[in-house]
A and B are shown apart, each in its own frame.
Chain A
Amino acid sequence: MSKALDDVTVLDLTTTFWSSIGTALLADFGARVIRVEDLPKCGPGEHQNGWDCDVELAQRNKLCLAVDLEQESGRAIVRELIPRVDVVVTDWPRARIEQHGFDYASLCVLRPDVIYAHATGFGPKGPDRDLPALDELAAARTGMMPILPQPGQPPVYAGVGQMYTAVMLALGTMLALHHRQATGVGQEVDVSLLAGNMYGASLDVQAFLAMGGERFLHPVSRLDAGNPMSGVLYPSQDGRWVCLTMPDTDRWWPPFAAMMGLDQNDPRFDSHEKRCGENRLELLQVLDHAFRQQPAAHWKQELNRRQLSADVIEEYDYPASDPQALRNRYILELDRPGVGPVKTLGFPIFMSDTPARLNRMAPGVGQHSAEILHDLLEYSEDRIATLIADGVIA
């Protein structure tokens, strides 16, 4: 079966979990992704880190070339590879890129139609363009941390901005590949953690831009929610939480009221305007009291039986054993040599003719160095042996 990115080779100069996931998404769909890593810091036999599940996810399906980029002969190998690659992806700081001569202008000389994707903390322009690419730093700037928790609670760092940025990195690269496919012209792609964090907060950010107001700047109590039937959490008898998402309350009120043991004709709550307007706070209190009368398992069963848009807040053990997640390959069960059976995140995108595949587990450092230099650059075995002996590659 063919792969979506059969003819694409990516040189992967990423250094972090999230940016490496950006290139893993391309590798999952068949791109040949060559990860360039530093030489291992410890000697043979000293490497005892064991299995790293984050590496397994971020580096799967990739090849690994270990090369000492502090040596000119190491950098020369990377430059020699450029004419053979379609895409270069990096999250390096600008200063390091320029020191090594791996900037877009320099690589264009070697391959004029190269696509050059740069993942940064704060974007290619502006006074803070050289701040470190740390998700925490970008999240702190985005304005959501203070309003995620309940009033009076510390700000919350959710750690997801980086995941938006990872997909934006893959999407930006695909947009550029599509354009190159049509015109033969390569270009630079820029994504940043600030942009990813902001995009993840799209609706809050846009609502504030258009509407303004203190309500977007401070946490809103769950018992002051705008719609008592949508986007609200209620505690059940056993302390587990139920969340409701029934924005169109006219549609859901009759079966929902029945489940809660409320009179659907209660004159306080018999229209959307009353439920979300004049009697909103009262309905929040009534529901808060009602949900506390039964345990979460009861509510889950009732919600499912009535096909209401609501559910119990689960913990990670739920998806880990959810047949739906396994059936759709969102979560995979693997037998990792030397580790045994493990679970790992799978593939969020389904394609009928060119599905994502796990062809390779994450490579060891330098696992494919010789193979890459032989296959792409036609280095002789002697030359490869010399480079290893000289400590240029591993």
Chain B
Amino acid sequence: MSAALEGIRVIDLTVWFQGPVAAQHLADFGAEVIKVERPQGGDQGRGVRSIKALPVGDWNQYFLVINRNKQSVALDLKKPAGREVMYRLVEKSDVFLSNMGVELLESWDLGYEKLSSINPRLVYATNTGYGRFGAVTKPSFDMTVQALTGIMARLGEPGQPPIYLGMGSGDAYGGLMSALGILLALYHRNRTGRGQMIDASLYGAQLFLAASTLQKYLAGGQAEHAKQQSRKAAPNPLRNTYATKDRWVFLCLENTDADWSRLCRSLDDQKLAADPRFDSVIKRRQHASELIEWLDRVLAQRSAAEWLTRWRAEGITASRINNLAELADDPQTWENDYFLGTYCEEVQRQVKVRGLPIGLSKTPGAVNSLGPELGQHTEIVLTELLGYTWEQVDELKTQGVIP
């Protein structure tokens, strides 16, 4: 079966997560991704030893999954001879992607002007921290940038600490934006023959990630969209989290009279159904806190399984609030290839990895290999793709340009 990005070659000069995962999306759909790494240690992601104070175990899933389906070339770009190798690679490639600082790239003479003069068809993509324009140059790790967007400050119960959306949540989004930008530029290039420069910054992506509430705040400046809101005061009590006798559930109804009748029937609570405080859409919103208090009391009396059985019978939309172990066992995730099993060379066994969030019916993505060893493909890329002789390869080794 053919691949969507067959014939597209990507130079992936990235580290950690946002840049690497952008290239991973392209690699999953068949682009030939060549990851260029410093000879000493490579991508910092290779050095991850613990997560949440737990040891990563016998395989470094952090690096190996993000960099799956890629080749690795180890190259010292601080040396002019290393840059010459890079220029030859640029000549033969469609995309150059980097999440290194713009100043660092310029200092290595790997800026847009230089690379597009070598290959005018090149799509030159960066992941800056805060955008191509403006004065801000401070470090840009995921959570620090998320902190600036304001989204953290509005999550959680009032008085509780702000809430981070999860490890690498912003990088993951920036990576998607970057892949989308690259595809847009490739599509345009295929029609016109001209490459261009694109940037998907961590800040820009994370502002967009907050759209469902930030857009409302931008429109009106009302504090309610910026501050923590208690679940005890949710504007629609019928769409809210509730603690049952044994665990939390998410009730996902509209505040309509039809949904309200269904809920009352399922609760078998005549008093609630008859209470005039709750007998219209507007009143249920006005008396939201009282209604939530009532529902808290009723729902705590039975287990989640009991409620969900009743709710299914009434056609009420609701779900148990799962943990990650339940996600890992959820048949829905496996049947849709959101999780996959794949062979891991490092430990010589099948391992479970996050799979393919985008389905394409005729050119589906695939996980063919996990992340490469540092420099695993240096010699083959230099000799077969770039036409270096073995003598020249030896010379580059002598100079310390490649390991």
**Chain A residues with CB below 8 A from B317, complex form:** 131-132, 134, 137
**Chain A residues with CB below 8 A from B249, complex form:** 140
**Chain A residues with CB below 8 A from B149, complex form:** 314, 316, 319
Contact with A along B46-83 (1 / 0, CB 8 A): 00001111111101011001000000000000000000
A188 within 8 A of B: yes
B118 within 8 A of A: no
A202 within 8 A of B: yes
A218–B168 Cα distance when bound, in Å, is 19
**Chain B residues with CB below 8 A from A203, complex form:** 17, 51, 62, 166-168, 172
A181 within 8 A of B: yes
Which label, helix, strand, loop or mixed, suits the secondary structure of the B interface? mixed
Asked whether, in the complex, the Cβ of A216 is within 8 Å of the Cβ of B324, the reply is: yes
B272 within 8 A of A: no
Q: Which of B210-251 contact A (CB under 8 A)?
A: 210-221, 225-227, 231, 239, 241, 243, 248-250
**Chain B residues with CB below 8 A from A311, complex form:** 144, 147-148
Asked whether, in the complex, the Cβ of B141 is within 8 Å of the Cβ of A309, the reply is: yes
A276–B7 Cα distance when bound, in Å, is 45
B130 within 8 A of A: yes
Q: By the criterion of a CB under 8 Å from any partner CB, how many residues of chain A are at the interface?
A: 150
Asked whether, in the complex, the Cβ of A140 is within 8 Å of the Cβ of B243, the reply is: no
B179 within 8 A of A: yes
B227 to chain A, nearest CB (A): 7
**Which of A123, A175, A216, A308 has most B Cβ within 10 Å?**
A175
**Chain A residues with CB below 8 A from B198, complex form:** 349-352
Asked whether, in the complex, the Cβ of B325 is within 8 Å of the Cβ of A208, the reply is: yes
Asked whether, in the complex, the Cβ of A156 is within 8 Å of the Cβ of B163, the reply is: yes
**Chain B residues with CB below 8 A from A348, complex form:** 177, 200-201, 204-205, 207-208
**Chain A residues with CB below 8 A from B61, complex form:** 206-207, 209-211
**Chain A residues with CB below 8 A from B111, complex form:** none
Asked whether, in the complex, the Cβ of A209 is within 8 Å of the Cβ of B4, the reply is: no
A168 within 8 A of B: yes
A155–B234 Cα distance when bound, in Å, is 14
Contact with A along B158-185 (1 / 0, CB 8 A): 0011111111110011001101110111
B40 to chain A, nearest CB (A): 15
Q: Which of B234-278 contact A (CB under 8 A)?
A: 239, 241, 243, 248-250, 252
**Which of A199, A324, A354 has most B Cβ within 10 Å?**
A199
Q: Which of A296-329 contact B (CB under 8 A)?
A: 304, 307-320, 322-325, 327-328
**Chain B residues with CB below 8 A from A206, complex form:** 61-62, 65, 353-354
Q: Which of A48-98 contact B (CB under 8 A)?
A: 51, 53-54, 56-57
**Chain B residues with CB below 8 A from A144, complex form:** 166, 324
B357 within 8 A of A: yes
Q: By the criterion of a CB under 8 Å from any partner CB, how many residues of chain B are at the interface?
A: 140
Contact residue among A2, A308, A320 (Cβ-Cβ distance under 8 Å from B218)? A320
A243 within 8 A of B: yes
A29 within 8 A of B: yes
Asked whether, in the complex, the Cβ of B354 is within 8 Å of the Cβ of A163, the reply is: no
**Chain A residues with CB below 8 A from B335, complex form:** 123, 125-127
Contacting chain B: which of A146-154, A260-268, A375-383? Answer: A146-154
Asked whether, in the complex, the Cβ of B157 is within 8 Å of the Cβ of A327, the reply is: no
Asked whether, in the complex, the Cβ of B147 is within 8 Å of the Cβ of A312, the reply is: yes
Asked whether, in the complex, the Cβ of B321 is within 8 Å of the Cβ of A145, the reply is: yes
Nearest neighbor of A248 in chain B, beta-carbon distance: B44
**Chain A residues with CB below 8 A from B101, complex form:** none
Asked whether, in the complex, the Cβ of A354 is within 8 Å of the Cβ of B196, the reply is: yes
A252–B320 Cα distance when bound, in Å, is 42
Asked whether, in the complex, the Cβ of A307 is within 8 Å of the Cβ of B163, the reply is: no
Q: Which of A271-313 contact B (CB under 8 A)?
A: 276, 280, 304, 307-313
Asked whether, in the complex, the Cβ of A123 is within 8 Å of the Cβ of B359, the reply is: yes
Asked whether, in the complex, the Cβ of B204 is within 8 Å of the Cβ of A187, the reply is: no
Asked whether, in the complex, the Cβ of A331 is within 8 Å of the Cβ of B319, the reply is: no
B19 to chain A, nearest CB (A): 14
Which label, helix, strand, loop or mixed, suits the secondary structure of the A interface? mixed
A43 within 8 A of B: no
**Chain B residues with CB below 8 A from A354, complex form:** 184-185, 188, 196
A148–B157 Cα distance when bound, in Å, is 12
B187 within 8 A of A: yes
A171 within 8 A of B: yes
**Chain A residues with CB below 8 A from B65, complex form:** 206
B330 within 8 A of A: yes
B142 within 8 A of A: yes
Contact with A along B82-96 (1 / 0, CB 8 A): 000000000000000
Asked whether, in the complex, the Cβ of A349 is within 8 Å of the Cβ of B331, the reply is: no
A7–B250 Cα distance when bound, in Å, is 43
A245 within 8 A of B: yes
Asked whether, in the complex, the Cβ of B358 is within 8 Å of the Cβ of A172, the reply is: yes
Question: Could you give 17 example pairs across A and B, Cβ below 8 Å?
Answer: A124-B359, A140-B319, A148-B155, A160-B169, A185-B362, A187-B360, A190-B361, A195-B358, A208-B328, A209-B353, A243-B162, A245-B144, A307-B139, A314-B147, A328-B131, A352-B196, A352-B197
Interface residues in chain A, defined as those with a beta carbon under 8 Å from any beta carbon in chain B: 2-7, 17-18, 21, 25, 29, 51, 53-54, 56-57, 122-129, 131-132, 134, 136-137, 139-150, 153-160, 162-164, 167-168, 170-172, 174-179, 181-183, 185, 187-192, 194-196, 198-213, 215-218, 220, 222, 224-227, 230-231, 233, 235, 241, 243-248, 276, 280, 304, 307-320, 322-325, 327-328, 330-331, 342-345, 347-354
19 further A-B pairs in the complex, CB-CB below 8 A; given A145-B322, A206-B65: A53-B219, A136-B250, A148-B164, A148-B166, A150-B156, A153-B157, A158-B165, A171-B180, A181-B190, A189-B360, A203-B17, A209-B339, A216-B325, A245-B139, A309-B138, A316-B218, A320-B218, A330-B207, A344-B219
Interface residues in chain B, defined as those with a beta carbon under 8 Å from any beta carbon in chain A: 2, 4-7, 17, 21, 25, 29, 44, 50-57, 59, 61-62, 65, 112, 130-136, 138-144, 147-157, 160-169, 172-173, 176-177, 179-181, 183-188, 190-192, 194, 196-201, 203-205, 207-221, 225-227, 231, 239, 241, 243, 248-250, 252, 317, 319-328, 330-333, 335-336, 338-339, 351-354, 357-363
